[in-house]
Structure 1
Amino acid sequence: MKRSRSRSLLALLAPLSVVATVAGCGLLSDDGGDPGSGRTFTVAAAGDILMHPELVDQARKDAKRTGKGVAGLDFGPMMAGIKPVISKADLAICHFEPVMGTPNGPFEGFPDFQVPPQTAKTIKGLGYDTCSTASNHTLDHGYQGVKRTLDALDAAGVKHTGSFRTRKEALTPLVMDVKGVKVAQISFAYGFNEPHRLPKDKPWLANQQDLGRIKAAEQQARKAGAEVVILSLHWGHEHEPSPTATQLSFARQIARSTGINLVIGHHAHVVQPMEKVDGTWVAYGLGNQIARHEAPTGLTEEGVIAWFTFTEHGKGHWEVRPRFEPTMLQIPPDAENVTDGGKAAYGDDDVRDYRLLDVAAALRDDRGLTDRQRSRLRLAFERTEGTLYNRGAAQDGLKPLTPMP
């Protein structure tokens, strides 16, 4: 653990050129616990990490500039914008959706992802402590794909759960010491893409969603000493900002029949609401942390870092206070949409590189933003905020981590 530290209306908008300095992210001063209460710690969680081929190309381009990275790939500059927030959390949780390949490739995009293992080093460098790895893509390359992914995370010093290399590993709960509190993470996915199935001789290879299995995993974690249990859940419908009826129903089953303290959702690739369900906070979908879909919609470039402050009030009773920080991936124009097939000079408002931005920090710093750029960032913030609130979360205490300037 790190040491304690405090279908889219806008798809037609021209891409942005935003160069934002994000150091000193201006977090709210009330993000800590009540000093009159018991133990307290913070959790940051973000959306899907899905390195499409265009993002691998950007990492190759950045490596030539920085002279850093491994095997000609440097993912650091592309994702650096979120580090000031992620690195401040006592526990930072990522969702790693695809399968890792070997450092020199070959790399693949949809439908069977195989991405550079160099991403693991960047994930660690941003401040992430652990990643959920159960997703519909977990079995894209069978057992060897799972093993490569987990080996790469291990080599980078990032913990993980949701997929496993051995039966023993699958039966061993991930319990972490966070400021003296034993915190467990469990990870499940609704299923796996066809034709991939769990091997008959390795049914433990990845966790498939089932209320009984989730309850059993929580109980195992409690027996291993966990005082807090966080569930990462890969569920819902892709590109739908509203949770499905199945998500809503399943969230209520979890809240009413388990002792899970927090549910973090993934898979939709767009932000979905947060809701307090019978006392348990559920983030139905955090959108994309970073991804580059074949047809960006505006929504798929937007995501959110969810920030939770856990405070103990009496033994075993944890209050969870939620906050959010909108993010946005700025993307260069497609070559076919640029004069001369991408060979012409970029205009003043054109983005030259893929960069993941902390939206509030970019607006606050406002370094040379045009009116159009500023408007796009404000829209990302307001749309994310509106989506998060649309099941009543504001009345239950959800607020921005950093207010929009």
Structure 2
Amino acid sequence: MTPRRSAVLAVLVVLLAGCGAEPQPTAPDATTTAAAPQPGEPESITVLATGDVLVHQGRALTAGALRDGGRYDLNGVFAPVADLIGAADLAICHLETPVAPDGGSYRGYPGLAVQPEIVDALAEAGYDLCSTASNHSLDAGTDGLVRTLDVLDAAGIAHTGTYPSPAESTEPVLLDVDGVRIGHVAGTFGLNGVPLPAGREWSVDVVAVPDVAPMLAAAARARAAGAEVVVASLHCCLEYRHEPTAEQETAVRALLASPDVDLVLGHHAHVVQPVERIDGEWVAYGLGNHVAEHATRGYPTEDSVAARFTFTRGSDGRFAVTSAEAVPLAIELGDAAVTVRPADPATYERVAGVLDMRGAVADGLVVAPR
């Protein structure tokens, strides 16, 4: 665990009385004015989020990271952007695939089970929290799902979206970030046709997009448990297209219309999608890949972005986004290594153009070089 994480991140797991019940009347809700800030409490915090973490097999990433003894050293993958990640008060990743046991066996697409060392690399880079609900969540079965959560726990990375028990599936996980309680909810539009295991339907947060009612219920539980900011991660809808689908837009608007959701992060497209401000709140429809090696090099699947939002406490005591930034990144596919780096000029301009497809820059988005 990094020094920053041990100092900043305290995971407060709050089990509400009667798991899954409606929030109690005494809990804070959308009509309750938050308490005024106390002396010494922070006025602002930064939340940074990145795209899909995928480890494809038989390519440069795994070939270049294999060390004597059969272990993989993947820390170098994120090293060029570790300062960017570590500078955020809360850094959120999206771990799309389950991990295999130490030593394998490892599997690539379509049923992935990847090197657990990728989690060590995420921790080393400075991530505090990962969403884990994706269409690949059950690629390695229930064992793989639980193993992935155990590996994240061992690395000191909080998680939401997949669960090892029914109780934990309804427990709001709040992160104490410099004294501010952050809630995170997640959902995926499907599981690639893999059915949820009988009796374990709670294992993955699956939502029938555009209906995001389960995510809204989870956000309400997080708010009732004391979350001052709630971030929602949505894994959907069509791959390899920059424009969000109509269903995706409907789902995002439903999330942002809720008084319990403050920010929406999107995944799954594998290419960067626009950022948009909707009724004063922000969505990053698709953050692209954070690390991946798709078969065709030079495709926009190597474009990436880190979205950074500053939440500031207002005079009413509530937090709202006062600064929205996006940092274009590039996945550099070498012959013997893969690294995530700040974007070169051509990639920067290309990514910036996609981010602004919905007029985000006019609405206040800053596309930053770092």
TM-score when scaled to structure 1?
Answer: 0.78
Q: Which amino acid aligns with 1:358?
A: P
Tell me which residue corresponds to 1:108. 107
Tell whether the 8 Å contact from 1:87 to 1:126 is kept in structure 2 after alignment: yes
**Aligned mates of 2:345, 2:291 — CA distance in 1:** 19
Quick check: 1:58 aligned with 2:57?
A: no
**Structure 1 pair 108–38 and aligned structure 2 pair: CA distance change class (3 A):** closer
Alignment of 1:272-351 (within 5 A): 272-314=273-315, 315-332=317-334
> 2:239 corresponds to which residue?
238
1:161 corresponds in structure 2 to: 160
Is 2:183–2:229's contact at 8 Å kept on the other side of the alignment?
yes
Pair 1:160–1:114, CA change in 2 (3 A): same
Contact 2:330–2:342 at 8 Å: present in 1 too? Answer: yes
2-side partners of 1:191 and 1:318: how far apart? 31
Secondary structure at 2:355's aligned position in 1? helix
Q: For structure 1, list consecutive stretches of 5 or more residues without a partner in the other structure.
A: 5-36, 333-350, 360-376
Aligned match of 2:346 in 374, 379, 382?
A: 379
Q: What displacement does 1:320 show? A: 3.7
Q: In the alignment, which of 49, 52, 76 is matched to residue 53 of structure 2? A: 49
Are the counterparts in 2 of residues 235 and 267 from structure 1 also a CA contact under 8 Å? yes
Q: How many Å apart are 1:187 and its aligned residue?
A: 0.8
Q: Are the structure 2 counterparts of residues 38 and 357 from structure 1 closer, same or farther at C-alpha, using a change threshold of 3 Å?
A: closer
- CA distance in 1 between partners of 2:185 and 2:259 (Å): 13
Q: Is the 8 A contact 2:342 2:369 kept in 1?
A: no
Pick from 198, 217, 222 the counterpart of residue 200 of structure 1: 198
Name the structure 1 match of 2:25.
none
CA drift at 1:132: 0.1
**Contact residue 190 and residue 235 of structure 1 kept, 8 A:** yes
Residue 225 of structure 1: aligned partner: 226
Once the two structures are overlaid, the 10-residue window that deviates more, 109-118 or 316-325, is: 316-325
The answer (yes or no) to whether the contact 2:223–2:260 under 8 Å persists in 1 is no
Residues of 2 paired with 1:115 and 1:63: CA distance?
Answer: 13
Amino acid at match of 2:257: R
Deviation of 1:257 (Å): 3.4
Q: What amino acid maps onto 1:144 in structure 2?
A: D
Task: Evaluate the alpha carbon distance shift between residue 398 and residue 392 of structure 1 in structure 2; reply closer, same or farther with a 3 A threshold.
Answer: same
Letter of the structure 1 residue corresponding to residue 263 of structure 2: L
**Residues 155 and 317 of structure 1: CA distance in aligned 2, closer, same or farther (over 3 Å):** closer
RMSD between superposed Cα atoms in Å: 1.9
Q: Tell me the distance in 2 between the aligned counterparts of 1:328 and 1:378.
A: 10
AA of the residue aligned to 1:119: I
| Counterparts of residues 165-176 of structure 1 (less than 5 Å) | 165-176=164-175
Task: Report if aligned partners of 2:256, 2:264 keep a CA contact under 8 Å in 1.
Answer: no
| One-letter amino acid of the structure 2 residue matched with residue 48 of structure 1 | D
Name the one with the larger strand percent: 2
CA distance, structure 1, for counterparts of residue 129 and residue 363 of structure 2: 28
Per the alignment, residue 18 of structure 2 pairs with none
Partner AA of 2:112 in structure 1: F
Output the amino acid matched with 1:384: V
CA contact (8 A) 2:133 2:205 kept: yes
> 2:42 and 2:174 mapped to 1: Cα distance?
20
Q: 1:255-266 counterparts in 2 under 5 A?
A: 255-266=256-267
Measure, in 1, the Cα distance between the counterparts of 2:221 and 2:144.
26
Shift of 1:297: 4.5
Whole-Å separation in 1 of the counterparts to 2:63 and 2:71: 6
Q: Kindly, what percent of the aligned residue pairs are identical?
A: 38
Deviation at 1:356, TM superposition (A): 1.6
Rg (Cα) greater in structure: 1
Equivalent residue number for residue 339 of structure 1: none
Count of residue pairs brought into register by the alignment? 331
Q: Relative to 1, partners in 2 of residues 1:148 and 1:352: Cα closer, same or farther, differing over 3 Å? A: closer
Contact 1:183 1:226 in 2 (8 A): yes
Unaligned runs of 5+ in 2: 9-40
